[in-house]
C-alpha cells in the first residue's frame, strides 16, 4: 500500500505502519461478525472493537497533525465508544473503514512537508499541560499503538479458536505445522 515514490525516513515509517496494520488484520482473518465481537478473555476487548479503536485512533492522530489546534482537549467519553463493536456493525465494514483511513494516512504523510513539524497535543487528564510533539513522534506513536493492540487482538484470537498471527504468517509463506 505504501507509495513507491516515497523514500527515506518517510517510506520507512509508512512501511513499518503498514506491517503493523497487516499483523492486526491477520487476527481478523476469516472471523464471523459474532466472533469479531466476542470477548474471549477477562478483558472487554474484542478483535472487532480493537480494529474499530485503532482506526479511530489513527484518524484522530492524523487530524491532530493536520489541524494544529492549540485549544484541543481529549474527549475520554467519545474515545471509549470506539473500543466496542456494536451489533449493527460488521467486521467487513470496520475493515473497509480501516483501509480507507490507512490510505488517507499514507496520502497525508507522503505530502507532509516536514516530519519535524511541531504539533500541539490535546490536553488530557494524564497531560493537563499542553505538550508539543513532532509529526514524526506522532507517527511513531501510531505505529506503537497499532502494534500494542495487535498483540491484544492476537491473544483474543488465539483464545477464540487457536489461530495466531505467527502461525498464519508462516502458513502464508508456505510453512506447514504439525
Per residue in 137-156, pLDDT (tens digit) is: 999 999 999 999 999 999 99
R_g over Cα of the chain: 17
The residue with cell 489513527 is 58
Confidence of residue 158 (pLDDT cuts 50, 70, 90): very high
Per residue in 43-97, pLDDT (tens digit) is: 999 999 999 999 999 999 999 999 999 999 988 888 788 899 999 999 999 999 9
Task: Give 120's DSSP letter.
Answer: E
Residue 117 neighbours by CB under 8 Å, 6+ apart: 65, 134, 135
Q: Is the pLDDT of residue 1 over 60?
A: no
For residue 120, which of 110, 133, 129 has the smallest C-alpha distance?
133
- Say if CB 24 and CB 51 are below 8 A apart: yes
Q: What is the pLDDT of residue 5?
A: 62
Q: What distance lies between CA 39 and its chain's CA centroid?
A: 19
pTM > 0.85: yes or no: yes
- Say if CB 168 and CB 162 are below 8 A apart: no
Question: Structural domain boundaries of the chain?
Answer: 8-172
Cell (9 digits) for 18:
503498514
Per residue in 106-136, pLDDT (tens digit) is: 999 999 999 999 999 999 998 999 999 999 9
Residue 153 neighbours by CB under 8 Å, 6+ apart: 24, 27, 28, 45, 47, 50, 51
Q: What distance lies between CA 114 and its chain's CA centroid?
A: 22
Q: Is the pLDDT of residue 4 over 80?
A: no
Q: What is the architecture, at CATH level 2, of domain 8-172?
A: Up-down Bundle (1.20)
Mean pLDDT across the chain: 93
Amino acid at each position: 500500500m505504501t507509495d513507491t515514490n516515497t523514500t527515506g525516513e518517510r517510506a520507512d515509517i509508512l512501511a513499518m505502519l503498514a506491517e503493523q496494520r497487516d499483523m492486526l488484520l491477520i487476527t481478523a482473518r476469516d472471523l464471523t461478525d459474532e466472533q469479531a465481537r466476542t470477548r474471549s478473555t477477562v478483558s472487554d476487548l474484542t478483535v472487532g472493537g480493537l480494529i474499530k479503536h485503532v482506526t479511530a485512533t489513527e484518524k484522530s492522530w492524523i487530524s491532530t497533525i493536520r489541524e494544529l489546534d492549540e485549544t484541543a482537549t481529549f474527549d475520554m467519553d467519545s474515545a471509549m465508544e470506539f473500543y466496542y463493536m456494536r451489533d449493527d456493525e460488521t467486521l467487513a465494514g470496520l475493515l473497509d473503514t480501516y483501509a480507507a483511513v490507512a490510505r488517507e494516512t499514507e496520502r497525508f504523510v507522503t505530502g507532509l512537508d516536514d516530519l519535524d513539524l511541531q504539533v500541539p497535543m490535546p490536553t488530557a487528564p494524564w497531560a493537563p499541560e499542553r505538550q508539543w510533539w513532532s509529526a514524526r513522534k506522532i507517527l511513531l506513536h501510531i505505529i506503537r499503538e497499532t502494534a500494542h493492540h495487535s498483540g491484544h487482538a492476537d491473544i483474543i484470537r488465539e483464545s477464540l479458536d487457536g489461530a495466531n498471527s505467527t502461525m498464519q504468517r508462516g502458513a502464508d509463506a508456505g510453512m506447514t505445522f504439525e
